[in-house]
Amino acid sequence: MGDQQLRSLYVLLGALIAGLLWMLVDAWRGYRVRSWLRHGDLAMAPQMSGWWGVVLDRARKLLRDRERNINAGEQRLKDFLSAIQASPNGVLMLDAQAQIEWCNQTAATHLGVHPERDVMQRVGNLLRDPIFTAYMAVENPVDPVVIAGHRHRMERPVLISVQRHRYGEGKQLLLTRDVTLLEQAEAMRRDFVANVSHEIRTPLTVMSGFVETLQTLPLTADEQKRYLALMAVQAVRMQGLVEDLLTLSRLEGSPVPNFLNTTPLMSLLKTCESEARGLSDVISQGAAAQIIQFEVNPLLGGASLMGEARELQSALSNLVSNAVRYTPAGGQIQVNVDQGIDGSLFIAVRDTGPGIAAEHLPRLTERFYRVDRSRSRESGGTGLGLAIVKHVMQRHGGSLSITSEVGQGSCFKLVFPSTRWCQPT
């Protein structure tokens, strides 16, 4: 073999060895890339040049994009769950077997389930309300159902509306909403309509009877005069009811009074005293006169109340007239005006009437609520006076407090905070 052939052999052998080394190095690089791809940690990506470097750059870019998409998706999911958690409505998700997959805290509070402990529990095993059980048995309910909430008590009802929707592969979504106030408002509306109808129907029936009597029977002049007087009483009663209804409507629909306006306290008291004495004379009809006293702290003689004069007059007149109506002949009505230790101004109306049992006190300011219906109608009350007083005081930033004891009389107190009255400068 010549030198030329030997050199060619060495070159070929060197090329083979170089190619083998390059293949080994390339295989090692591929192994490192594969190992890294298996874990996919961008922080541990190897640094390479050449073809594998291009592959690594592309892989890193794809991994970064995927990581950003995953993070963005996770963040959207967190935001969505946070929004559902913050919702005032409850959300409860059930799988195809009616097992709880997830619920927010509102639904947990409404239904009395635990958002973690009760996951994968059948909702029917946790809520045993027959109304709810029957609702879940309906294939495709249209309307929601109202059930008693977890904290429902007879003295403090909690009513929850539940609406069911199907989604996905047999899954269900329960939406819950606290409708206690709505149900109470609807009940109050029904009661209000029924009470108004009853209160107006009674005097109308009486008047219709008198009209028929006047039309069909030959009556003497004295008899006609007596019937007309009774009709006038019923007309006045209906007029008072309508006026009180209009007053309540105006209070609820009008803006808050402008407290830049001031009303002299003594002016309100003088008007109420005049009305009280006039009403007392009508009621007593020759019997022992009622003792009516108005006492004002001398330091408050020039004080003024901030707000709507007509509303304030209505509130105080209602309390004083109630005291006159329910205090027997010879009884005492006392109106005291003084200043509290916290700077408030209070007007207390005390009477020596029959008093009110403790169980009735929380409901006295409800519309048409009466302790004794027959006595209230005899005295000419509409059942709306204290409701008007309560609304007026709320609109003027004050409060109405009631204390009473059966057989000892009652005390109704209007309390105005220091920011709602002023002294002359």
Report the CATH number at residue 188. Answer: 1.10.287.130
Same structural domain for residues 68 and 198? no
The C-alpha atoms of residue 68 and residue 42 are separated, in whole angstroms, by: 12
Same structural domain for residues 273 and 414? yes
Q: Dump the DSSP string for 304-356.
A: EEES-HHHHHHHHHHHHHHHHHHSPTT-EEEEEEEE-TTS-EEEEEEE-SS--
Same structural domain for residues 208 and 100? no
pLDDT (0 to 100) of residue 351: 92
Same structural domain for residues 148 and 261? no
Same structural domain for residues 391 and 272? yes
Same structural domain for residues 298 and 227? no
pLDDT (0 to 100) of residue 376: 47
pLDDT (0 to 100) of residue 152: 84
Same structural domain for residues 70 and 149? no
pLDDT (0 to 100) of residue 70: 83
pLDDT (0 to 100) of residue 95: 92
pLDDT (0 to 100) of residue 34: 67
Instruction: For residue 257, give every residue at least 6 positions away whose Cβ sits within 8 Å of its Cβ, in sequence order, or none.
Output: 307, 308, 311, 395, 396
Same structural domain for residues 196 and 145? no
**Count of domains observed in the chain:** 4
pLDDT (0 to 100) of residue 281: 82
pLDDT (0 to 100) of residue 122: 92
The residue assigned the tokens 């609820």 is 252
Contact 408, 326 (CB under 8 A): no
The C-alpha atoms of residue 70 and residue 322 are separated, in whole angstroms, by: 72
Per residue of the chain (425 residues), what is the pLDDT tens digit? Answer: 566 777 777 777 777 877 777 777 667 776 676 666 666 665 666 666 666 667 667 777 777 777 788 888 888 878 777 878 888 889 999 999 999 998 998 999 999 899 889 999 999 899 988 999 999 988 888 889 999 888 888 768 889 999 999 988 889 999 999 988 888 778 777 777 777 777 777 778 878 887 888 888 887 888 888 888 888 878 877 887 788 788 777 777 777 777 778 889 999 999 999 888 888 887 776 667 788 899 999 888 889 999 888 889 989 988 998 898 888 888 899 999 999 888 899 999 999 888 888 888 888 888 777 776 554 445 455 678 888 899 889 888 899 999 988 888 899 999 999 888 988 76
pLDDT (0 to 100) of residue 38: 67
DSSP assignment letter at 43: G
Same structural domain for residues 406 and 316? yes
Same structural domain for residues 240 and 335? no
Structure tokens at 300: 């408050």
Report the alpha-carbon angle 268-271-275, nearest 5: 135
pLDDT (0 to 100) of residue 266: 92
Helix, strand or coil, per DSSP, at residue 87? coil
Rounded to two decimals, what is the model's pTM? Answer: 0.57
Domain boundary among 254, 280, 308: 254
CATH of the domain at 317: 3.30.565.10
Q: Which of 26, 17, 70 is nearest to 48 (CA)?
A: 26
Same structural domain for residues 211 and 345? no
Domain boundary among 204, 231, 254: 254
CATH of the domain at 159: 3.30.450.20
Domain boundary among 224, 254, 284: 254
pLDDT (0 to 100) of residue 41: 65
Same structural domain for residues 269 and 414? yes
Torsion sign over Cα 353, 357, 362, 368: negative
Torsion sign over Cα 11, 12, 17, 21: positive
Could you list the residue range(s) of the whole structural domain that residue 422 is in?
A: 257-425
Helix, strand or coil, per DSSP, at residue 421? strand
